[in-house]
């Protein structure tokens, strides 16, 4: 992860959000009185001033009344992509903290909260693992390391033992809590001996190593499957256009990725009967031409299930553009991190929701992931890379105490109410500083509407569906999720 690019990109965008409107009241006006003729509505609200944190409000209901000029119209009849879910990456750092810096009771309570449902659960349905080390690992390693100058073409040294102490126990417990949890995985680097640098740091894959790297990835899928951890999707390389100087990384240009997918990984997965999706890119919004070049390759394209995106450069709107060019391919959002470069909730919380939860799913994402699930009070453990990234939660390494960060609330406003199998439905995209996205849950037909107010002023608004209306005053710099069952 190029944290300098990320920092500059997020800072610039947050500055724009901060200038949207003049200051105004943060008070929430009560819903207007009037005859209730339609379904009741629950509202869950988080404000940038932190006075409300996923706070439940009741008493709203659809009625026969006039809509305001600021109106969000919801149409469940118009349906788009089916959702897999929302979540974060269980990095080595996250798993180590959960396993080693929390008591059993603390750990179980947090895992139940993150992956469970019910009153206290936020229902993460989607997770990413790293294949070998990332910058958020305590050591740099692959799953088939050899001393410098040696190779291992038979992969005799392949082992997932490095994950047995913490990653595997934590992911297995998450799956036990939420059996519907979908898990994808990404390598940060091939083993060093497969690369031009003979190192996990920098370099690219040697041409003669394409076959053995494909077998390495498939061995990972099979090894995790044997442990009861199914991997539903792989990306070939995290951020393939970036070679970090101090943690594992590897450059793979579009021609290399197309060859690796079309001639090696794709055919090998098919030969082994493994129904694992291959997802290309796994990098920023600023280079859509790179995944489009892979998708244009006639040999690779049949094996590519979709494209994955990160938030650190570019514009979320390219997701829709690439989808429009290749509508048979899925879209995923697989990484964004908050950090200490922007700690102001009133700026950063709306930015996260506006771009990742709303913008990305409007751009056809079937799943949305933040970066580290958990980090400690010192933004680690890490070895190289980002020195001030936040986890979705912070685990105090001395006490096991949990702090829920703004990323937690951004995700929870979707994950708690939008379940696996839900479909995105039509809603007004943007009106007078408000942006929205809506979903219909397949299991019970409930509608979840997520609205973001980026403005520094309260925004009275109405929501309409099927000719009925409810009214609400969105607090300044806030997020609200509205849930109802249409009649």
Domain-terminating residue out of 380, 401, 421: 421
The yes-or-no verdict on residue 93 having pLDDT over 80 is yes
- Mean pLDDT rounded to a whole number for the chain: 93
Q: Tell me the per-residue pLDDT of 339-398, one tens digit each, with 9 for 90 and over.
A: 999 899 999 999 999 999 999 999 999 999 999 999 999 999 999 999 999 999 999 999
Identify the pLDDT of residue 38.
83
In this structure, the answer to whether residues 403 and 277 fall within a common structural domain is yes
Same domain as 463, residue 385: no
In a domain, 252, yes or no: yes
CA distance 243 to 247: 9
In whole angstroms, give the CA distance from residue 316 to residue 353: 12
372: nearest Cα among 395, 350, 351: 395
Query: Under a CB-based contact definition with an 8 Å cutoff, are residues 471 and 462 in contact?
Result: yes
Whether residues 404 and 309 share a domain: the answer is: yes
Last residue of a domain, one of 404, 421, 438: 421
Whose tokens are 């199998």? That residue is 421
The per-residue pLDDT for range 241-283, each reduced to its tens digit, is 999 999 999 999 999 999 999 999 999 999 999 999 999 999 9
- Give the Cα separation of 66 and 60 in Å (integer): 15
Q: Can you say how many angstroms the Cα of residue 287 is from the centroid of all Cα atoms in its chain? A: 19
pLDDT score recorded for residue 35? 57
- Which SS3 state, helix, strand or coil, does residue 321 take? helix
- Residue 239's SS3 state is coil
* Domain containing residue 182: CATH number: 3.20.20.80
Pick from 463, 457, 461: nearest CA to 427: 463
Q: Which residue has the higher pLDDT, 82 or 5?
A: 82
Residue 347, Cα to own-chain centre: how many angstroms? 20
Tell me the whole-structure pTM to 2 decimals.
0.93
Distance CA 272, CA 229 (A): 17
Higher-pLDDT residue of 13, 338: 338
Backbone angle region of 303, left / alpha / beta, with phi > 0 → left and psi within -120 to 50 → alpha: alpha
**CATH number reported for the structural domain that contains residue 429 in this entry:** 2.60.40.1180
Going 386 to 387 to 393 to 398, the CA torsion angle's sign is: positive
> DSSP label at 208?
G
Residue 13 domain flag: no
**C-alpha to C-alpha distance for 487 and 480, rounded to whole angstroms:** 22
**CA-CA distance, 170 to 177, in Å (whole number)?**
11
- Split at pLDDT 50, 70, 90, the class of 30 is very low
Q: Are strands 423-427 and 71-82 parallel, antiparallel or unpaired?
A: antiparallel
336 and 449: one domain?
A: no
Are 349 and 408 within one domain? yes
Q: Domain check: are 346 and 403 in the same one?
A: yes
Asked if residue 17 belongs to a domain, the reply is no
- Which pLDDT belongs to residue 487? 83
- The answer to the question of residue 14 being in a domain is no
Per-residue pLDDT for 209 more than 50?
Answer: yes
Instruction: Look at 12-26, 127-141, 245-259, 401-415 and tell me which has the smallest mean pLDDT.
Output: 12-26
Host domain of residue 332: 3-7+83-421
Domains contained in the chain, number: 2
407 with 443, same domain: the answer is: no
Query: Which residues are known to be catalytic?
Result: 239, 335
Domain annotation covers residue 18 = no
Give the residue from 224, 331, 205 showing the smallest Cα distance to 280: 331
């Amino acid at each position: 992860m190029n944290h300098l690019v990320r920092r500059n990109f997020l800072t610039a965008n947050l500055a724009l959000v901060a200038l949207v409107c003049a200051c105004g009241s943060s008070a929430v006006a009560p819903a207007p009185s009037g005859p209730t003729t339609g379904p009741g509505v629950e509202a869950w609200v988080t404000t940038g001033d932190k006075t409300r944190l996923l706070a439940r409000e009741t008493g709203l209901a659809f009625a026969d009344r006039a809509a305001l000029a600021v109106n969000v119209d919801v149409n469940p009849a118009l349906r788009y992509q089916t959702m897999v879910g929302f979540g974060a990456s269980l990095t080595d750092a996250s798993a180590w903290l959960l396993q080693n810096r929390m008591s059993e009771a603390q750990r179980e309570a947090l895992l139940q909260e993150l992956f469970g449902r019910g009153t206290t659960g936020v229902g993460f349905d989607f997770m990413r693992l790293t294949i070998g080390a990332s910058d958020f690992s305590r050591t740099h390693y692959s799953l088939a390391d050899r001393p410098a100058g040696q190779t291992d073409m038979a992969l005799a040294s392949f082992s997932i033992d490095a994950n047995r102490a913490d990653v595997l126990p934590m992911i297995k417990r998450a799956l036990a809590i939420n059996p519907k949890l979908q898990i994808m995985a990404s390598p940060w680097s091939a083993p060093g001996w497969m690369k031009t640098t003979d190192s996990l740091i920098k370099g690219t894959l040697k041409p003669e190593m394409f076959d053995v790297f494909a077998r390495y990835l498939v061995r990972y899928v099979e090894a995790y499957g044997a442990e009861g951890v199914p991997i539903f999707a792989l990306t070939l390389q995290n951020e393939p256009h970036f070679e970090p100087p101090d943690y594992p990384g590897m450059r793979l240009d579009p021609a290399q990725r197309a060859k690796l997918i079309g001639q090696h990984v794709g055919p090998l997965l098919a030969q082994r009967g493994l129904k694992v999706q291959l997802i290309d890119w796994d990098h920023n919004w600023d280079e859509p031409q790179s995944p489009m070049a892979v998708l244009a390759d006639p040999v690779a394209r049949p094996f590519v299930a979709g494209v994955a995106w990160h938030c650190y450069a570019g514009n979320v709107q390219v997701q829709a553009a690439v989808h429009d060019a290749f509508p048979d391919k899925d879209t995923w959002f697989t990484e964004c991190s908050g950090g200490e470069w922007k700690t102001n909730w009133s700026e950063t919380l709306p930015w996260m929701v506006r771009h990742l939860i709303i913008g990305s799913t409007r751009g056809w994402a079937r799943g949305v992931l933040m970066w580290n699930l958990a980090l400690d009070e010192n933004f680690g453990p890490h070895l190289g890379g980002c020195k001030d990234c936040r986890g979705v939660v912070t685990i105090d390494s001395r006490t096991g105490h949990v702090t829920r960060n703004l990323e937690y609330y951004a995700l929870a406003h979707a994950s708690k109410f939008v379940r696996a199998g839900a479909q995105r439905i039509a809603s007004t995209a943007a009106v007078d500083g408000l942006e929205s996205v809506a979903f219909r849950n397949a299991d019970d037909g409930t509608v979840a509407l997520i609205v973001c107010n980026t403005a520094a002023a309260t925004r009275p608004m109405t929501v309409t569906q099927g000719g009925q209306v409810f009214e609400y005053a969105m607090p300044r710099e806030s997020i609200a999720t509205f849930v109802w069952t249409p009649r």
